[in-house]
Structure 1
Amino acid sequence: MTQLWDFSGGVHPPENKQQSTRRPIRMAGIPDRLILPLQQHIGEPAEVIVNIGDRVLKGQKIADVKAGMGVPVHASTSGMVEAIEHRAVPHPSGMSDWCVVIKPDGEDQWCERKPVSDYRKLDREQVLGMIRDAGIAGMGGAGFPTDIKLRPPRDRKVETLILNGAECEPYITADDMTMREHASEVVAGLKIMAWILRPSRCVIGIEDNKPEAILAMRDAVQGTQIEIAVIPTKYPSGGEKQLIQILTGLEVPSGGIPADIGVMCQNVGTAMAVSRAIFEATPLISRVVTITGEAVRDAGTFEVLIGTPVSELLTAAGLETGKLDRLVLGGPMMGYTLTTDTIPVVKTANCVIAATSEELPAPPPEQPCIRCSQCAEACPMELLPQQLFWYAKAAEFEKAEHLNLFDCIECGACSYVCPSSIPLVQYYRYAKGEIRQQRAEQLKSDRARERFEARQARLEREQQEKEARRKERAKAAAEAQAKKQAEAEEAAAQGEAVDDRAAKAALVQQALERKKAKASTKAESAPEQPLTDTREQPDIESLEKQLMQAEAKLSTMQGMLEEAKAQQADNVDKLERAVAKNHDRVERARQALTEARQQSTPETETPSPE
């Protein structure tokens, strides 16, 4: 018998599972419209590879992830692509996102498929590629791409492969009914994953409140080494970390992953999808969904095409509109209220609760914390919910993170037992969101700073390289000039040139030297010329004109002086200086004229009197 351990905390809410297990799984049928969101998994959203108006076949790939972490999206049936637009998608905020809307043609015509009869003859990478191309993501949690999860780090060998069939949350019976009716497919998918990982142990964990599923799975594993571990019913024993602790006694380290301790956990629905992807070449285009609640007459479990609006499922389950008070996607502990019934079923959707006001009443107003510590006792992660609540409410996010806020699995056990009706999980989600936002902003800031510093370093490096090149060019030019000068001097001295430029420089230098020698020789041999012959004859007419202008200006200035003396005594000195200056100018002009006349008279003649 498999040894079991226990985890701290946990609660026992009413199960309410019998309503949806009375009937076998039913086919939901083909709806009037299929709404296929492009992001149904963790990672990058898929990119559309079809156009509006295209006819698509069942199983045809309509969107794919070109780069990054993600899986493709396939058409759930044949039909025409009617629109590619924003539609409401499953999200606590009621947000909308890009979706491909397909109008089914009713033919349900398949695309070409290539199933594999013996996957052991293939390479492991080929099988992982088939799982990826089938668009399989985790169907029991956040939707982590299965092919990536099946590639653990090389330094972390998976020793224990766990198949999670606990399904601990109230109302949900999708995995229970899957194990009852598709046990062989579940085991086949587990074998494929075990062949890829090569673990030393494979175990399927099932809560003891599912006797029919336990019997079916035990029959399916006959002749294999797969263990069936029946665990006590306690919420949240279906949590990945809690189930690992129950079955192995090991604890996943804070901030770590199960692979860190040599364990991997997969979901029952994921195992069946892997089996169909390999043996039938069927991509993930449908899943098992529970439709329950007191507002529907025929609660049960349906196999639903991905993209089917919730309203179609409610109609199939016999919704009584007058009783409906609230729609919840998921379970009552970790699910969230839907704002509309037009949202589609996606790969991670496992339950829709159509609840009456008495079944899931609105929570009472929040009251002050009385420090009863019931939340701490119920926490399966052994955290301090009170302190986390206070820090989250006070926006002291660093302190909350220091108390391992991100180890919280948001199971809702603390909120369930709180006598003050404090929505503790909502505070934790808020704090996590703010921390993630701050990290994203810090990352953007760091990247911007790195880009700026890299740019500055690049500009500085380019400037240094430019300066170095300039110095090299200057040095090369100086060396070339010195070389040319030396060659020219040598050529001039020896009367020969080493090249054309040196020859030309030598010729120019020799010509200059010859010219200088010729000029000096001519100056020495030239006879002395008479002084009168070398003098330049003065312009007497111009000098007479200058004298007349000076005398006229002197006369004007003397008149102004007399007038100034009579009218304004303070300008007398200024005018007197001006008159004296002009008087000197007249005298110089008269003297220049006299000398000019003397020079123009021949030495043999007697100068005429004025």
Structure 2
Amino acid sequence: MAKNSNGLLCKLGIVKSPGAPVPHRKHTKDCATVDMPAPAKVTMVMQQHIGAPCAPTVKVGDEVFVGTVIGDSTAPFSAPIHSSVSGKVVKIDSILMQNGSKAQTVIIESDGQQTVDPSIKAPVINSDADLIKAVHDSGLVGLGGAGFPTHIKISPKPEVKAAIDHLLINAAECEPYLTPDVRQILEDSENVVEGMKLVAKLLDVKYAVIGIEDNKPEAIKLMTELLAQVKIDGITFKVETLPSRYPQGAEKVLIDQCTGRQVPPGKLPSDVGCVVMNVTSVAVLANYVKTGMPLTTKRLTVDGAGVNKPMNVRVPIGTSIKDVIEFCGGYKGAPAKVISGGPMMGMAMASDDFPILKQNNGILVFDREEADLSATTDCIRCGRCVNACPMNLMPTKLEAYTNLGRTDELQKLNIMNCMECGCCAFVCPANRRLVQSIRLGKGLVRNASN
């Protein structure tokens, strides 16, 4: 039996799988992606990844094209920003991010032509270093939500790389409503496979595995057939069918399910021999290697009872949420809540003027019934949140110590290990805002350590 094989034991029914049986609500799974025309303007945020923010490389009045670099940084832990439209830079401004910080923006007025930058061409790749540089130049970050710069992820130190034997492609897409990853597989399977091959060879792994939840049979069948045709000496390509139980797409849960390995607190996937990438990330990588077109668009699911035409749509990065909703037929009455992302880990938006970022994968518009605006009641100490937590934390205690501002206790209870999946809040009969409290608690711990 595999070491630390809790994932295997769950599959065998010996232990209860963590997480929560959230409803799937994949209403748009059969909706082919529709391309949205360029909006009148885009707002390009200079912080679209974990790490150092970019600084604008253009000024007001400059003409730009699709793919023009408009933001960059000399810091290694960063990724360049490219214009998603052709037109003119009309303003350099700032914006309040969802985490409360400020970021610079480059606002571009579109000319509607979508003229591609004449410098765009496929990169010349003759070595691993060439491929890593190409990934950096593409502006690629983790597209599943985290925004980790991809060139950093695929260039571990030699001693770390030597121990990596698994490349795991995350196509679980466990959040309710969201379907852009399954559409990526069904509509762009060639680039998914090519991207897997590129990274698997670069990292010299033994296994390249794509994990897909069992509620996506068409994607499982297609990828099984395609990967069976891939023949690279020393590398086994396969599909891992995952149970449809949230949060299978969480990095540490995916590793457990696919390999039986558990990532210790404070450690990274590479510490247990794994590199995890989102399925859309590898497809974008393959497309850049073939065409030289950087990351300028994002496929989103737009859904919820508050929007007239739920669909999957590919939009220029920097498009406002308002413009995306208008493309999808507009609001159906006054929305009770607009969420960027999925209902479990997404962020409720204060304004629909906020622009689409690289790592956005959905916009949900809820009416009052879907939004579930029920009042919070007292905790009844039922323990459901503890049973549901994939990281074996104690959400009620974390909430209590956050309210008291006791950072020492929060650290002892490993608050920073929380992945903010939302399982605790979902199963809570008292409707307590546990995830929000834990996020605040994390902020208290960070501030106390500065």
TM-score tier by shorter-chain length is over 0.9
Match of 2:121 among 102, 110, 114: 114
1-structure distance, mates of 2:366, 2:129: 45
Greater mean alpha carbon deviation, residues 250-259 or residues 64-73: 64-73
Alpha-carbon shift at residue 29 of structure 1 (Å):
1.2
Greater mean alpha carbon deviation, residues 261-270 or residues 97-106: 97-106
Alpha carbons 1:92, 1:338 under 8 Å: kept? no
Instruction: For 1:368-387, list aligned pairs within 5 A.
Output: 368-387=378-397
Change (3 A) 1:88 1:437: closer
1-structure distance, mates of 2:140, 2:397: 39
The aligned residue for residue 79 of structure 1 is 87
The aligned residue for residue 405 of structure 2 is 395
The aligned residue for residue 278 of structure 2 is 267
> Residue deviations 1:136-169, cap 9 Å, x none?
0100032010000111232222100000000101
Alpha carbons 2:180, 2:361 under 8 Å: kept? yes
The aligned residue for residue 16 of structure 1 is 25
Which secondary structure state, in structure 2, belongs to the residue aligned with residue 359 of structure 1? helix
2-structure distance, mates of 1:179, 1:126: 27
Alpha-carbon shift at residue 96 of structure 1 (Å):
4.8
Greater mean alpha carbon deviation, residues 65-74 or residues 204-213: 65-74
Greater mean alpha carbon deviation, residues 318-327 or residues 169-178: 318-327
Give, as a single letter, the amino acid of the residue that structure 2 aligns with 1:75.
S
Instruction: For 1:440-459, list aligned pairs within 5 A.
Output: 440=450
Alpha carbons 2:46, 2:55 under 8 Å: kept? yes
The question of 1:42 aligning with 2:50 is answered yes
Which secondary structure state, in structure 2, belongs to the residue aligned with residue 155 of structure 1? helix
Match of 1:436 among 410, 422, 446: 446
2-structure distance, mates of 1:271, 1:412: 27
Which secondary structure state, in structure 1, belongs to the residue aligned with residue 368 of structure 2? coil
The aligned residue for residue 326 of structure 1 is 337
Q: TM-score, normalised by structure 2?
A: 0.93
2-structure distance, mates of 1:288, 1:320: 20
Determine which structure has the larger helix proportion and give its number: 1
1-structure distance, mates of 2:243, 2:76: 40
Match of 2:199 among 193, 200, 206: 193
Which secondary structure state, in structure 2, belongs to the residue aligned with residue 101 of structure 1? strand
Question: What value does the CA root-mean-square deviation take over the aligned residues?
Answer: 1.7
Instruction: For 1:149-548, list aligned pairs within 5 A.
Output: 149-156=153-160, 157-224=163-230, 225-365=236-376, 367-440=377-450
Aligned residues: 432
Alpha-carbon shift at residue 215 of structure 1 (Å):
2.2
Higher relative contact order, structure no. (Cα contacts within 8 Å, ≥ 6 residues apart): 2
Percent identity, aligned pairs only, is 34
1-structure distance, mates of 2:197, 2:303: 32
> Residue deviations 1:495-540, cap 9 Å, x none?
xxxxxxxxxxxxxxxxxxxxxxxxxxxxxxxxxxxxxxxxxxxxxx
Change (3 A) 1:92 1:66: closer
2-structure distance, mates of 1:28, 1:107: 13
- Structure with the greater alpha carbon radius of gyration: 1
The aligned residue for residue 532 of structure 1 is none
Alpha carbons 1:43, 1:70 under 8 Å: kept? yes
Alpha carbons 2:228, 2:238 under 8 Å: kept? no
Unmatched runs of 5 consecutive residues or more in structure 1: 441-610
Alpha carbons 1:88, 1:343 under 8 Å: kept? no
The aligned residue for residue 134 of structure 1 is 138
